[in-house]
Structure 1
Amino acid sequence: MRIASNRRRVSAASPNVETSSMPLEIVQIIQEFSTVGGAENVSWELARAFERLGISNLVLTSRSAAAPDAKNVRLVIPFTSSIPTRGPLRYIGRLLVVPLFTFVATFTLRHYRNAVAISHGDTLAGDILVVHAVNIENLHEKRRAGEWMWRFNPLHLWVSLRDHFMIGGLRYRRYVAVSPRVAGELKHHYNVPADRIQVIPNGIDVERFKPDQAARRTARARFGIPPDAQLLLFVGHEFDRKGLAHIIGAMERLGPEYWLLVVGAGDEGRYKRMVSQLRGRVVFAGEQRGLESIYPAADAFVLPTAYETFSLVCMEAMACAVPVFATRVGGIEDYLVDGHNGFSIERDPNDVAAKLAQAFQDKEGLKQLAKGAYETALGYRWDAIATQYVALVEQVDREKKASTRSTGPGMVKVV
């Protein structure tokens, strides 16, 4: 990834240059810079969009999927890239990598005080913090659902301490909430003033995620799903919170023409026992990359989740012209419109089955839902989202420059 821009690049070489004459510059901080995951993908797409808009930007990361010679990526403690942060040992790996990267990246950020720093939760201070989820609220939801395995994940303790320091301590000029729900949680749990919060939703790459009939046929053949099956798709980890059991319960109430493809890592053993009576119509694909080649295979995307903040997977499905059936939680209620791009459902197998059966009975109506889903996704293209970020960055940049002028020459203190 390269920057095609005539603006000066982010540099630490001239810290005492008069800031009022400097062009707009952005530094993103993310522990993993890639297209895998939520925050990781957001940082990736923002960098690409900033590039297209001609904005000078740099990414501080310890693990990058960009080309080794990418000019807008700086690796911080790159030796940690050999430590697994995904898969069975991910919790141990993240406990080592995430805190270490946070401290080192926070220190490294001192060299970029003339830029506007956008952190995705991986520095203890900065200019703009993108809040993808409020961990304390997530844990509340797990408790309400009777989940307890998370208590064995020591990373939650680190995240709680980190959030208390960086959010509760108001160590950023602005907080970007990816949905109105997240904005409310910031106010409720951390007393963040409303004037320091801006809601900017996540976006979608409509060139990557799009309707694709060839991909539809290939994916169905790959997973052994009949071409004429009415295929439901579930994508996500944490099967309990995401409501996989409710979809399986719905499958038991639907006809044999319905199939379910489950993509993601979770307690497959438990759920495979639950589907023993469904005669092989539930396929567990495990964790998959290249989801853009899987979504088009589906006729409906189903997510009876208990807690979300925006849900990229729902938007990815819509971009592939797949109607969404999901609970109205987090940011999903901001774009899910009953009868236009899908239907809202309850965390109840009877309700899920009834809504699906009703929609699939109307073949022409199902086509209109697919069309509405695609049209919705077009409104969330990354260039439009990045423009909102640029407007916020420009506002913060003016505040920083004004603060510098009022305190004399030098740098605005970041930490």
Structure 2
Amino acid sequence: MKKKIFLIVGSLGAGGSERVYWLLSQYFNKEAYSVSVVFLNAQEQCFPTNIEGVEFIDLKTIKASRSFFKLYKLLKDAKPFAVFSTNDHINILTAMVACFLKVPNLIARASNNPQQMKQFYGFKARFYNLFTRFLSFRFNFIVCQSVEMQQSISKLYGISLNKLKVISNPVLYTSAIKKQSYNAVQKKLIIVARLNREKGLFRLLEVMEELPENYVLTIAGDGPLMGDLKDRVRLRKLDNRVTFLGEVKEVSTLISAHDLFVLCSFTEGFPNVILEALASGVPVVTFRVGGIDEMISEGFNGFVAEQANLIQLKELIIRACSQSWPHEKIKADTYCKFSLDKIGQAYESLLQN
């Protein structure tokens, strides 16, 4: 009989955590396991659900605060061998439900570095943090995406390092995606991000003002700062050099049409968009944030600027766009380190025999 595995997410929207679990559902989809992806909100959906062998269950509750009884009944009836959850509010919900059920393998995935995120927390996030410390004991393991995140969570919440396992995010191989031809005249930059404060997009626009006129920027993603960012672009007369696409689905294909991926975040857990860029053979210039040391090899697949050093970021962008890059080697190196099989095996190793 197949062992039942449940992966719980808030939605199938365009978030990094959602993408990781959507990918993991495909890894666990094999003879030994019966896989279900549980989500609360079907209104946000960027990932397909027509994956053979994977069941997608919509609780139709929208919010975690309304989901306790439905999730409890689902898990009580199914009696799963393992339950994986991700993101603070879903981890808290799952831990609370697990207080009343026996789940042999209960594994959470932390989605950010809490010490770095403090300055961006609203009331709801601070409220979640109060519960994280007390409910962490319910989990067999908590997956951290980098050593930096592991150390931060251990220090802040007093959780044993033995419970905090470092596993990077996976990337799915797509052979059809190739780096497109290099444009020697126009330098095409791209960033893919949710448009909120911690992504640091206003400081990227400052850098764009200082870059030569032949540098253009594509901003893909949606979020609360869209209007303010567009106003800033108009005010600084960058209209002909900055393009807003909104939310996109074919991220890798879009990235591969550009010369350089730029990340300007104040904080990250383990940015999936950088993996997608590298998996397309596109080099990256980024500020130093969580997970970067595991992904970027200076000079081979990109450059790293120190946080808030806009001059250094500008100089590295120009440097990156003024040299050739081994696109196929970048792509191959990324899959070697972060393939779904390799990361999936690391998750599977957490399950008890």
Q: TM-score, normalised by structure 1?
A: 0.72
User: Shift of residue 112 of structure 1?
Assistant: 4.1
What does residue range 167-182 of structure 1 map to in structure 2 within 5 Å?
Answer: 167=136, 170-182=137-149
1:137/1:102 CA distance change after superposition, 3 Å: farther
Higher strand share: 2
1:288/1:101 CA distance change after superposition, 3 Å: same
Question: Residue 376 of structure 1 aligns to which amino acid in structure 2?
Answer: D
Structure 2 Cα separation of the partners of residues 35 and 367 of structure 1: 32
Counterpart for residue 280 of structure 2 = 320
Structure 2 Cα separation of the partners of residues 279 and 77 of structure 1: 43
8 Å CA contact 2:193–2:199 kept in 1: the answer is yes
Give 2:264's match in structure 1, choosing from 304, 311, 329. Answer: 304
Structure 1 Cα separation of the partners of residues 51 and 332 of structure 2: 37
Counterpart for residue 171 of structure 2 = 204
Counterpart for residue 359 of structure 1 = 320
Give 1:48's match in structure 2, choosing from 12, 15, 26. Answer: 26
Counterpart for residue 159 of structure 2 = 192
Structure 2 Cα separation of the partners of residues 69 and 381 of structure 1: 19
8 Å CA contact 2:219–2:243 kept in 1: the answer is yes
5+ residue gaps, structure 2, are none
User: Shift of residue 102 of structure 1?
Assistant: 4.7
3-state SS, counterpart of residue 349 of structure 2: helix
1:165/1:356 CA distance change after superposition, 3 Å: same
The number of residue pairs the alignment matches comes to 331
Structure 2 Cα separation of the partners of residues 36 and 269 of structure 1: 20
Counterpart for residue 233 of structure 1 = 190
Counterpart for residue 77 of structure 1 = 59
User: Shift of residue 319 of structure 1?
Assistant: 0.8
5+ residue gaps, structure 1, are 1-7, 10-23, 81-95, 143-149, 218-225, 399-415
What CA RMSD, in Å, does the superposition of the two structures yield over aligned residues? Answer: 2.8
What does residue range 8-157 of structure 1 map to in structure 2 within 5 Å?
Answer: 8-9=1-2, 24-32=3-11, 34=12, 36-52=14-30, 54-62=32-40, 63=42, 67=49, 72-73=54-55, 75=57, 77-78=59-60, 80=61, 97-102=63-68, 104-113=70-79, 115-121=81-87, 122=90, 123-124=94-95, 125=98, 127-134=106-113, 136-142=114-120, 151=122, 155-157=124-126
8 Å CA contact 1:335–1:376 kept in 2: the answer is no
User: Shift of residue 189 of structure 1?
Assistant: 1.6
Structure 2 Cα separation of the partners of residues 69 and 375 of structure 1: 26
Counterpart for residue 245 of structure 2 = 285
Structure 2 Cα separation of the partners of residues 269 and 373 of structure 1: 35
Q: Which runs of 4+ in 1 moved over 6 A?
A: none
User: Shift of residue 258 of structure 1?
Assistant: 0.6
Structure 1 Cα separation of the partners of residues 173 and 134 of structure 2: 37
Task: Pick which of 377-386 and 271-280 moved more.
Answer: 271-280
Counterpart for residue 342 of structure 1 = 302
Post-superposition Cα deviations, 1:26-65, rounded to whole Å, max 9, x if no partner, equal 2222232x37321211111101111257533233334475
Question: Residue 313 of structure 2 aligns to which amino acid in structure 1?
Answer: V
1:67/1:57 CA distance change after superposition, 3 Å: closer
1:235/1:67 CA distance change after superposition, 3 Å: closer
User: Shift of residue 248 of structure 1?
Assistant: 1.7
8 Å CA contact 2:259–2:283 kept in 1: the answer is yes
8 Å CA contact 2:29–2:53 kept in 1: the answer is no
1:371/1:77 CA distance change after superposition, 3 Å: closer
Structure 2 Cα separation of the partners of residues 353 and 209 of structure 1: 32
Question: Residue 135 of structure 2 aligns to which amino acid in structure 1?
Answer: M
Post-superposition Cα deviations, 1:107-130, rounded to whole Å, max 9, x if no partner, equal 532334451222224212451111
Question: Residue 173 of structure 2 aligns to which amino acid in structure 1?
Answer: V
8 Å CA contact 1:58–1:74 kept in 2: the answer is yes
Give 1:272's match in structure 2, choosing from 207, 227, 230. Answer: 230
8 Å CA contact 2:109–2:142 kept in 1: the answer is yes
Post-superposition Cα deviations, 1:281-333, rounded to whole Å, max 9, x if no partner, equal 01112222221221111100111211111000111111111101112211112
Counterpart for residue 135 of structure 2 = 166
8 Å CA contact 1:208–1:292 kept in 2: the answer is no
Identity of aligned pairs, percent? Answer: 24
Post-superposition Cα deviations, 1:87-140, rounded to whole Å, max 9, x if no partner, equal xxxxxxxxx522222553245323344512222242124511111225x43542
1:165/1:138 CA distance change after superposition, 3 Å: same
Structure 1 Cα separation of the partners of residues 28 and 333 of structure 2: 23
Counterpart for residue 146 of structure 1 = none
Structure 1 Cα separation of the partners of residues 70 and 246 of structure 2: 34
Structure 2 Cα separation of the partners of residues 227 and 102 of structure 1: 56
Higher helix share: 1
